[in-house]
Amino acid sequence: MSDAADPKPRLVSRLARPMLAGALAAVGALPTQAATDVFLQLDGIKGESTDAKHKEWIEIRSYSQGFSNPASTGGGGGGGAGKVSCGDVNVMKSIDIASPKLMEAVMTGKHIAKGTLAFRSVSGKGDTDYYTVVLSEIFVTSVQQSDAASDGTRITESVSLAASKFEFSYRTQKADGGLDTPKTFTFDCKANRAF
């Protein structure tokens, strides 16, 4: 049966073209973001990274962390801060050489003195870390393994780390692609104060 005999295929074709064009335009309008490599170093726990600046660090697929402060407003217009809740650092990684040591740490309550998360943009000049989070007095609070990876990669592992001290350091990218002087903030969760 030809298109002339049945008007439906032409109608569908006429509707599909603008919809396809709109979808492609929407995808093209999405902001492009530079990819970021994330690495984690924990005292006494080796990873499998072969990166020159992060050799034997743990390669991280995703990262999240949150802080909260139950601030209150006073009757005189001022406000007061409560005790800050320092949330766990949550990372997703592939099963690797670090996995048995992470299991040991969560099951025995083993203390880790120090760790560093390093974030590096894969675009720009060089391969310098633009954001780092240094953790002190760390406990592994959770390790969860899953074979639900849909992209055919290795089994994934979610790891949660509780730390009592944090140092956050961020460097903006300059016009020439280099990185500026770091802006740093440090906080002691036990003492509930910056240091």
Pair of tokens at residue 136: 């002190």
Pair of tokens at residue 192: 């509930």
Q: pTM (2 decimals)?
A: 0.75
Token pair 């929407």 in the structure block, residue? 26
pLDDT (tens, 9 = 90+) of the chain, 195 residues, equals 555 555 555 544 444 444 434 433 433 433 334 578 999 999 999 999 999 999 999 999 999 999 999 876 666 656 666 889 999 999 999 999 999 999 999 999 999 999 999 999 876 556 789 999 999 999 999 999 998 656 666 789 999 999 999 999 999 988 887 889 999 999 999 999 999
62, β-bridge pairs: 92
Domain limits for position 46:
34-68+82-194
- For residues 59 and 47, is the Cβ–Cβ distance under 8 A? yes
Q: Does 15 reside within a domain?
A: no
Q: Does 58 reside within a domain?
A: yes
Q: How many domains does the chain have?
A: 1
In CATH, what number is assigned to the domain containing residue 47?
A: 2.30.110.20
Q: Does 49 reside within a domain?
A: yes
Whole-number Cα distances in Å, 3 to 10, 17, 18, 19: 7, 17, 19, 21
Q: Does 25 reside within a domain?
A: no
Q: Does 4 reside within a domain?
A: no
184 phi/psi in degrees, rounded to 5: -125, 145
